Chain A
Amino acid sequence: MNALKQTANRLFSISQNNYLNPHTALVWPETLERSQWFMAPELISLNGSPVYEELSEKQKKELSFWEAVNFFSLNIHGEKALVEGLAQRLYRRELADVAEYLHSFLDEENKHMVYFGGFCQRYAGKIYRDRKLKIEREYAYGEEEFLFFAKTMIFEELADYYNLRMGNNSEIELTARRINLIHHLEEARHLAFGREIVRYLFNKFAAHWTGEVLQNVRHYLLSYLEATWKEYYNPDVYRDAGLDEVFDLVDQAWHSSASKKHRQQASFRCVDFFVKEGILEKNLVV
């Protein structure tokens, strides 16, 4: 608990000193000129599929706009679940030592949705729907607690891979770029906290688990990683970008060797952490 508490205290003071007002942190232009990149071309899900090569530059940029709306939307869905889970955990006895930081964490995630939602509502008039469905089930001792933070880490690590590549990228339209930058700066703290708490909870609970529970946890984390990735390949995006046979495009994009390589690279940091901590057995990635 000590390492976790120390990290939480340190992050809490950084959060206090970098407190942002979400309503002034961004300037929202009236409209956005679509002839710009909203998502870096190398991060566009269809890049590496045959169809992408056939698109004109104008079409690629249009697609990049909808890809950005999808990226921001999936962040909102993840953050909604995160805020819900963090609120439930405030002042729980076993996390009372880090309650102060949980307040900052929760506050920052709410602000992120102001940025992501602000962009999507203003310029796309919508947020893409979430396809995740909750199914209640029973958990072993500490399993749910551990999975909540481990899933958060996966979701945040992947998003940060994108933020990091766009936050300072002058190719990207300014508002989208700035959202990526602000998000990355705050997420760096969440990721640091995530590592400590995932490590702490795993060491605390895994010893109580049977081999079967541990195998289920490992299997679940890998499926969660895969399911999180699937959200980056959204047929609704391709439809909005004016493309046809959108489900075939999802298949093509998902199975292309370029995108497999991309997913491996972007997953590396969190998978590597899980492997080093003994949470995952070896480097099995989607």
Chain B
Amino acid sequence: MKTQEDMKKELHAWIVKNNAKIKAEELCNDTDIIRERIINSLQIIDLLLFVERLSGTSVEVEQLKPGAFKNIDTIYQNFLERQGDEQCNK
């Protein structure tokens, strides 16, 4: 069962792996990955797939709240939280 911390760690690892710009120790859970151009609009497609894989549910891009992909915390809150909680409670 994946906890909140596990999932944030996986997101962290994915972001570090998929760009050459930032080192693991520089990326925090509240680092703005869009504004700092760590992730560009094209990489978001891959990130979205990764989030879907992690959450086991589909993401409807048309219904996304602005800022959903701002940082690791917001990604977790928008896509993974419910699942993380449910699993924590099990």
Contacts and interface: CB of A to CB of B under 8 A. Distances in A.
Interface of A: 129-135, 137, 220, 223-224, 226-227, 230-231, 235-236, 247, 250
A131 B62 contact: no
Contact of B45 (A137, A220, A230): A230
A134 B49 contact: no
Contact of B61 (A133, A220, A224, A226): A133
Contacts of A131: 44-45, 48-49, 59, 61
Contacts, number: 50
B28 interface: no
Contact of A133 (B37, B49, B58, B69): B69
A116 to B, nearest CB: 18
A117 to B, nearest CB: 16
B52 A235 contact: yes
A236 B69 CA distance: 22
B34 A230 contact: no
Interface string B28-72: 000000100100111111101100110000111110100001000
A250 B49 CA distance: 10
Contacts of B43: 223
A250 B50 CA distance: 11
A222 to B, nearest CB: 10
Contacts of A134: 41
A220 B52 CA distance: 25
Contacts of A135: 34, 40-41, 44
Contacts of B48: 131, 133
B61 A129 contact: yes
A227 B42 CA distance: 6
A133 B64 contact: yes
Given A227-B45, A235-B49, A250-B49, A129 B40 contact: no
A137 B42 CA distance: 13
A130 B61 contact: yes
Nearest to A223: B42
Contacts of B69: 133
A131 B45 CA distance: 6
The 10 closest A-B pairs by CB, nearest first: A227-B42, A135-B41, A247-B53, A223-B42, A133-B44, A131-B45, A131-B48, A227-B45, A133-B61, A131-B61
